Amino acid sequence: MAPGVGGLPVAERDVEVSGPVAEFMRSLSPKALGQMRLGLRIFEWLPFPRRFSHLDAAARDRFLQRLERSRLGLKHELLLMAKVLSTLGYAVTPQVRGAIGFEVGCGLADGSLPEPAGSLGDTEPPAGGEECDVVIVGSGAGGAVAAATLAEAGLDVLVLEAGGHYNRDNYPSDQLDAIANLYREGGLTIAAGKPAIPVPVARAVGGTTVINSGTCFRAPDPVLEDWRQRFGIGWAGQLDADFAEAEDFLRVTPLDPERMGRNGQLAMEGAAAVGASGGPISRNAGSCVQCSSCPFGCAIDAKRGMHVSYLPRAVAAGARVRAGVEVDRVLFEGDRAVGVAGAVAVPAAMRRQVRPRGESRFTVRARRAVIVAGGALGTPELLLRSGVGGGQVGRNLHIHPACWVGARYEEEVRGWDGVMQSFYIDQWEPQRILLEATFTPLAFGGGWLLGAGRSHQEAMLDFGHIGSIGVHLSDESAGRVGLGTPGSLRASYRLTRDDADRLAFGIARAAEVHFAAGATEVYPNIARVGTLRPNDLAGFEATRFRPAELRLEAFHPMGTARISADPRAGVCATDGSVHGTEGLYVADASLFPTSVGVNPMMTVIAFAKQVARRLASVAA
């Protein structure tokens, strides 16, 4: 997969790849690991009667080129899996980064370090369990904000998080270790379907705010009005004060176009050339002007994730935070939630460093309420294991399917310089499409480059000339979260033809912006298209693609415990309480009735504030 081209090292001879990848795969669930093993075995025997590993170098390269040109979807999926795994281990090595010139770093405009965040105190769970007024399961944007709101109202709050506690003092320096420790299932949580869609979410104190891009949008007014009218959320149009308070506390600031980086500037120039509306993205990172480590944790904690903002605020008001507690059920007395039970646990990759999963049980008794804030994957999982919430639990999964549209420019782009997600284009929101200039680190983005074997390595060497735009769909398609084996979940998603058409439209618009900015060719990430040049765009738009042909990712799961005044249509009432229970609430993106259409963090914060304030008034 990596034979060494143009000064790049030869995998396994010059740099070790398979060993670190094998170690990384320890972070996967047994189910995911089994799927990977099956895929790799099939890949190994694809050249039957020979085995891939038994071919000489020239035969391997010819075989990879045949896979790249194949019209069979399964062959492309297997090739992509092999590229992603090998690139994950290969691209993180200093030798590869040095040959390409890729650098990872963070920095404020004045070169200083942000002030240290307040302490979270002792995050080690005590033996046996604890008591509190309100226990919150999950420490992301929903759980952290609910904790701060309730603690400041005088309630005794305990926050439980399955993952570990990291900050700028102890983020793993090795990128594979960071992925294994900061992400659920090593970032390989998959929504099964055609296509299968990775949905990476965090598993750490602070939730996905630790590893997201820091992009801050308010929910669009038409979406909030739809939620008010169709789902009975009377307060949906009254969130301006909550948005404003959060923006101030998190130091949300629009990027300076002069400092955002060339990738964002090219998107800005292309948008202006085609007359498309847009603007610099606002982020919860103050004056940050260099940001290429977000997916591995902000190296200086300039990005104000929950672990350095709302959680310290909650602890200052008396709340407690416990890391490494995996809750597996809500405890009830009759219909009233009275606590939670689980096990002291840590991410799989850390088991050899800390105590093994399930070594001790942990129980919390909650005098007032239980809040579930595990995100749109974890929350329905816990509700289902607890047997509550009704038939709508886990349904209505929306994920904002997204695809990476890269382009080659004659000029150097060096997308890792500046800010990773920097400029948005909202011209095509009526078509449910949002474009965002987004440059992913080499370890993630390298696997999506064209080519295989030698040709893929040539593309990696050209990484400094690549610009990229993310196409982001406000989906009408839906999926479902169900129970898998203990410690895992089962997610599925059906992309409709209409939404596939919208994504293809978005890819064409991203290509149009790229070409208007001076790109010589565009990579739409559709196997039978390969590369687009300016004269190819009309033909591309005249072609209809099957959903399974699209290569997608998704970063914004939502809707799996949605609010509805009608218990038949949703899981939660308009105050966030779970229908049919007392004292059980949800406070995360699971509550969203439909796709919100923009990066959801600020809307999660506003919803959590509403739920927590109402609970505090009831408790009072």
- Verify that 52 and 198 share a domain, yes or no: no
Residue 288: CB atoms within 10 Å: 25
Q: pLDDT at position 347, please? A: 47
Confidence band, pLDDT 50/70/90 cuts, at residue 263: very high
Question: How large is the average pLDDT for residues 354-371?
Answer: 80
Please tell me which residue in 456, 472, 556, 579 is annotated as part of the active site: 556
Confidence band, pLDDT 50/70/90 cuts, at residue 103: confident
- Report the share of the chain in percent with pLDDT over 70: 97
CATH code where residue 535 lies: 3.30.410
Higher-confidence position of 88 and 151:
151
- Verify that 184 and 314 share a domain, yes or no: yes
Q: Count Cα neighbours of 266 within 13 Å in the Cβ-side half-sphere.
A: 34
Tokens read off for 301 = 């904690």
Confidence band, pLDDT 50/70/90 cuts, at residue 349: very low
Q: pLDDT at position 352, please? A: 41
| pTM across the whole model | 0.95
Q: pLDDT at position 244, please? A: 98
Q: Model confidence over 370-386: pLDDT tens digits?
A: 999 999 999 999 999 99
Q: pLDDT at position 32, please? A: 82
- 194 vs 477: CA distance, rounded Å: 12
Residue 556 designated active-site: yes
Q: pLDDT at position 487, please? A: 61
- Verify that 177 and 303 share a domain, yes or no: yes
Q: Model confidence over 175-216: pLDDT tens digits?
A: 899 999 999 988 889 999 999 999 999 999 999 999 999 999
Size of the chain in residues: 620
Phi-psi region of 56 (alpha: psi -120 to 50; beta: other; left: phi over 0): beta
Cα angle for residues 329, 330, 334 (degrees, 5° grid): 130
Which of residues 61, 80, 100 is at a domain's end? 100
- Verify that 513 and 597 share a domain, yes or no: no
Question: How large is the average pLDDT for residues 246-270?
Answer: 97
Q: Model confidence over 492-542: pLDDT tens digits?
A: 999 999 999 999 999 999 999 999 999 999 999 998 898 999 999 999 999
Of 408, 432, 607, the residue nearest 505 (C-alpha): 432
Q: pLDDT at position 354, please? A: 42
Q: CA dihedral defined by 535, 539, 540, 546, rounded to 10 degrees?
A: -160
Which of residues 83, 100, 117 is at a domain's end? 100
- Report the share of the chain in percent with pLDDT over 90: 81
Domain of residue 1 covers: 1-100
Max avg pLDDT among 30-34, 86-90, 434-438: 434-438
What is the pairing mode between strands 336-344 and 478-483?
A: unpaired
Q: pLDDT at position 341, please? A: 97
Higher-confidence position of 28 and 356:
28
- 282 vs 256: CA distance, rounded Å: 10
- Verify that 328 and 445 share a domain, yes or no: no
Confidence band, pLDDT 50/70/90 cuts, at residue 424: very high
Q: Is the distance from CB of 225 to CB of 233 less than 8 angstroms?
A: no
Phi-psi region of 588 (alpha: psi -120 to 50; beta: other; left: phi over 0): beta
**Does 542 map to a domain?**
yes
Q: Model confidence over 390-417: pLDDT tens digits?
A: 999 999 999 999 999 999 999 999 999 9
**Does 291 map to a domain?**
no
Considering its fold, how many domains does the chain have in total?
A: 3
pLDDT averaged over every residue in the chain:
93
Q: Model confidence over 125-159: pLDDT tens digits?
A: 999 899 999 999 999 999 999 999 999 999 999 99
- Verify that 174 and 306 share a domain, yes or no: yes
- Verify that 464 and 599 share a domain, yes or no: no
CATH code where residue 301 lies: 3.50.50.60
